[in-house]
Amino acid sequence: MAGVVGTGVQQPTAQMINTLDAISQKYIHGEIGDIVFKPSPLFWALMRNGKDIRYGAELVFPLVTAEETTGGAYYGDQLLNTTVVDSVIPANQVWRPYYQNVSLPVTDIILGRGGSAGLDLVEVKLEIGGASLLQKLARAVWHTAPQNTALDVDDIDSWVRQTANVIAGIDRTVTTAWQPAANFAAGGALTAANAELAYQRVVLGYDEPDVLVLTNTDFAGFKNNFTGLIRFANLEQDTEALQAGFRYHFVYNNAVVIADPFCPATQGYLLNSKYIFPVFNGNDYFVMDPWMQPSNQRVVVTKIYLQWQISCTSPRMQVAITGMP
């Protein structure tokens, strides 16, 4: 189809293109269409309890490494064990700073603001900058390129699937209690039966996983195991037709099942978000520089900053599922 893009007039529908280009303007929608960004549903799920704001030069939390055996049954004037036991080691994480640059020519700001401009250029670029930063954070959660460097946050796979790495300053080959639950090999498509075996590795009474993240393909296959078991208890929702699918979230045991486009193929993660969550530095939480202009250019520049980490206070409550198609 012949024509031009942007605010020009195209043929067809127009025939007198030059005349209409000279006298007309297009209607510009008041919102930006997104054909680029892919949010991570897991990033959202890990913050369902709200953002976790912390302060300090680094993140340190104490880990109990062993039961203190200085206690038990006794009687009468029996001597009691008063040995001092140092049973705590520190898990230390460093903050990971991220930034997003936003640069604008001043002449473009003048042309793209007010009057016939459908949207404000500065507002548009800031929205794109914020979305671009969030895209980087979504990739960092999964250690997906290019957010897979040594400067990026401690990612989900490093916390949950790997067992011989050093994380939060602790060598898991030495301190084996710092390892996650042993990976569960599904050996094929995930079913209710083998998912239950993975679930039992990380459930302790009422303390159970609340997120099961899968690829879109594995999510679809796993969901098909349950479509015949949906209960239609609330008939007031729709008395004319039976719901033929999951009206709300798909839940396995008490874990919300989500499909994440960043989840690695053949893998899934059964997580307890009480113990694994993003942490944000309150002193550098989506902070922006003042707009600055270089001395030899009519360009204004700002940056959006964020310092954060992904912490896990109990890796044993998380399990990776491997060996799916």
pLDDT tens, residue by residue, 185-226: 999 999 999 999 999 999 999 999 999 999 999 999 999 888
Helix (H, G, I), strand (E, B) or coil at 24: coil
SS3 at position 128 = helix
17 shares its domain with 97: no
Whether 239 is covered by a domain: the verdict is no
CB 310 within 8 A of CB 172: no
If asked whether residues 269 and 186 sit together in one domain, one would say: yes
Residues 16 and 107 in one domain: no
23-27, 60-64, 258-262: range with lowest mean pLDDT: 23-27
Output 8 or 257, whichever has higher pLDDT.
Answer: 257
% of the chain residues with pLDDT over 70 = 90
Q: Note whether 11 and 49 are same-domain residues.
A: no
C-alpha to C-alpha distance for 128 and 100, rounded to whole angstroms: 10
According to DSSP, the β-strands at 53-54 and 59-64 are unpaired
Confidence of residue 68 (pLDDT cuts 50, 70, 90): very high
- Residues 11 and 129 occupy one common structural domain: no
Same domain membership, residue 317 and residue 198: yes
Q: What is the band of 246 on the pLDDT scale with cuts at 50, 70, 90? A: low
Largest CA distance in the chain: 108
C-alpha to C-alpha distance for 66 and 42, rounded to whole angstroms: 32
pLDDT at 115: 63
- 35 inside domain: no
Domain with 21 in it: 1-30
Do residues 165 and 202 both lie within one domain? yes
Q: Is residue 11 part of a domain?
A: yes
What distance in Å separates the CA atoms of residue 79 and residue 73, rounded to the nearest whole number? 11
Give me the pLDDT at residue 10, please. 81
> How big is the chain, counted in residues?
325
Q: Kindly report the pTM of this predicted structure.
A: 0.88
Residue 126 in domain: yes
Token readout for 270 is 């059964």
**Which CATH number goes with the domain that contains 152?**
3.90.1690
What whole-number distance in Å separates Cα of residue 230 and Cα of residue 250? 10
Same domain, 21 and 91: no
Average pLDDT over residues 84-108: 96
Q: Is residue 107 located within the same domain as residue 168?
A: yes
Residue 148 lies in a domain: yes
Q: Do 136 and 282 have their domain in common?
A: yes
Question: Do 94 and 25 share a structural domain?
Answer: no
- 238 occurs within a structural domain: no
pLDDT surpasses 60 at 287: yes
Task: Assess if residue 240 is contained within a domain.
Answer: no
Average pLDDT, the chain: 89
For residues 206 and 142, membership in a common domain is answered with yes
Q: What percent of the chain has pLDDT over 90?
A: 73
* Number of domains forming the structure of the chain: 2
Is 78 inside a domain boundary? no
Given the DSSP bridges, would you call strands 268-271 and 211-214 parallel, antiparallel or unpaired? Answer: antiparallel
